[in-house]
Structure 1
Amino acid sequence: MEIKDISVEEMQARVARYRELKASPQAFVDTRIPEYERDIYNVIGRGVTEDAGLAPSIIDSRYFGITYVGAEPGKGAALHAHETIEVFIPLVGRWAAYWGENGDKEIELDLFDVISFPPGVYRGFRNIGDAPGMLMAIIGSKETTGDGGRVDWAPSVLEASHATGLRVNAEGDLEEK
């Protein structure tokens, strides 16, 4: 490996300041369904976000991406799957991670607990606390490009989201139906 010496200015481009992060309240096709309303902050890489306008704070996302998820009590993400590993870490509040074709299996997570879902498993999460919460999601990449692939939504989620007028186009981005 070649060892590099980079400047402070170059490192500044690799710092994500929380106070400067921009959120998308509609980063995924499920976010118009009331129980899945949440704010998505792309910290490192775009990950699997379906909102083409949500730029990451740190662009270089080789091998993984990091997203923060903010949600009110009772809200979270609908059942979905990925081709790569996905990790959830509660940063604020208590969360439940659930999985299975019907989401009938569940584990509760406290602050800084870590759960790692293998590829190809339907999973979701929700804030089970009594105050707004924050969760970190880390998604693996299929290659060094930072491409986490696309989200595979459970059929019931796509049906409910299409009823709201929101769908994912062939490029993997959100569009109005």
Structure 2
Amino acid sequence: MSTEKFDLAGFEKKYVARLKDRTLDWNVLKFQEEVDPSYKRAQMRYIGRGATANNDANVIQAEHFTLSTMVLPAGCQGPLHLHDDVEEVFFVIKGSITALIQEEGSDEVHEIVLNERDCISSPPGVYRGLRNDSDEEALMLVMLGAVKPNLPTYPKGSALEELRIKRAKEREAIINAK
């Protein structure tokens, strides 16, 4: 049995993330918005860096997964993308979204409407995307099942896939700079 007194303040500093200390990051996915303005959305990180690998010192360090919230404005979308190494979960907190699912190698995109407190888990190797068809913004919880997920890929030949290839070296430099 340990004789040291539990350090509650230290524990809280390391393991508690409060809304009042977060800001919406409208720039983390700005590179997508520059390709298509309908890709506008914001992320608020709580645990880990996520697949974008942005260096955010104001997060709980991830041990097994990443967790963030995402605002998807009315009429906007998250483009189809594929994580080859990790499942991704979208949990709708507010509003509604249409989840887009496409098997690798297929041209068919399936649509699944998700309302408040609905959830979808996309396994590795499946393209997934989101669209907000409503007149109100949607708020989602997003979780990736790895501490440092691989950078997602986009459909072959798309403008986003070409941009991803160019940005891959920048991402690795961010991760390695810790």
With normalisation by structure 2, the TM-score equals: 0.79
Q: CA RMSD in A?
A: 2.6
Equivalent residue, structure 1, for 2:142: 137
Paired letter, 2:37: P
Equivalent residue, structure 2, for 1:127: 132
The separation in 1 between residues aligned to 2:19 and 2:94, in whole angstroms, is 14
Do 1:99 and 1:124's aligned partners in 2 also have CA atoms closer than 8 Å? yes
The separation in 1 between residues aligned to 2:68 and 2:115, in whole angstroms, is 18
Aligned counterpart for 1:97 among listed residues 83, 96, 99 = 99
Q: Based on CA coordinates, which of the two structures has the bigger radius of gyration? A: 2
Deviations 1:108-151 (A, max 9, x none): 1011111000001111012233212211110011xxxx112211
The separation in 1 between residues aligned to 2:90 and 2:154, in whole angstroms, is 18
SS for the counterpart of 2:38 is helix
The separation in 1 between residues aligned to 2:5 and 2:88, in whole angstroms, is 32
Percent identity of equivalent pairs? 27
Shift, 1:26, TM fit: 2.4
- Pairing of 1:105-116 with structure 2 (within 5 A): 105-116=110-121
Structure 2 alignment gaps of length 5 or more: 174-178
Q: Which of the two has greater helix per residue?
A: 2
Q: Would you say 1:79 and 2:84 are equivalent positions?
A: no
The separation in 1 between residues aligned to 2:45 and 2:155, in whole angstroms, is 23
Aligned residues: 162
Do 1:46 and 1:56's aligned partners in 2 also have CA atoms closer than 8 Å? no
Do 1:44 and 1:57's aligned partners in 2 also have CA atoms closer than 8 Å? no
